Amino acid sequence: MQQNYFKLLIFDKDGTLFDFSRSWNNWAKSALLALADDDETLFRTLADRLSFDPDRGVFLPDSIAIAGTLDETAHHLAPLFGADFTPQQIAALLNQLAQSAVMVEAAPLASLLTGLQKAGYLLAVATNGQKGEAEAHLATHEIRPYFHEVIGCDSGHGAKPNPAMCAHIAQVCGVAPARAVMVGDSLHDLRAGRAAGMATVGVLTGLADHGTLVPHADAVLPDIGHLPAWLGH
């Protein structure tokens, strides 16, 4: 690959910048307990609905929470509450709790992003999470200034696998889609990037395995720390 052929790198957040399991498994148990108001039976019913194993404290690969939006997750859980707790109320509580979740970096981010920026790449984030949640997590890790754009599912450009989020970032950054890379841990990420006309790189710091990602990616890497080598640096 010609060095610096690509000009724009778009990162998913959960499972890409931050290791999904190490960041969200512990949080999920406390969040579901909060939703259940510490009712153990309801907690386990919610966990089952969300494909979260409460005994092992892990998400299962088919969970809607992995690549879905907060609103999708809230609507998925809402039938278990009847009229007592609306999807909007569930989403609001989950959003509040998510902003304080402790994220675990998938690779040392400050040094990685510094190197990519110095090599001339524009950097951006496209997440199916809420923009406010993303901004909070990036700020906590002191990496927000590296990103030219941060787009969430509530930013007005839809959610992945819809390519509009990726297309918007490329347009704002003034970069042709063919010279951009979408980096993510899920099929939603890779399908969005491909549909937008971008190169795609999968990483294994989410719950999808190599075999799942490889048909949809130009490369599958253990984590984003391997990205500079793939780019030719």
What pLDDT does 65 receive?
A: 87
Q: Would the pLDDT of 1 be above 70?
A: no
Please state, in angstroms and rounded to a whole number, the distance separating the CA atoms of residues 137 and 143: 9
3 pLDDT band, cuts 50/70/90, is low
Contact 133, 98 (CB under 8 A): yes
Range(s) for CATH 3.40.50.1000 in the chain? Answer: 8-19+105-231
Residue carrying the six token digits 């907060």? 70
Q: Which CATH number fits domain 8-19+105-231: 3.40.50.1360, 3.40.50.1000, 3.40.50.300, 2.60.120.620?
A: 3.40.50.1000
DSSP assigned state of 176: -
Q: Would the pLDDT of 68 be above 90?
A: no
82 pLDDT band, cuts 50/70/90, is confident
Strands 52-53 and 58-59: antiparallel
Contact 181, 199 (CB under 8 A): yes
Q: pLDDT tens for residues 84-123?
A: 889 999 999 998 898 889 999 999 999 999 999 999 999 9
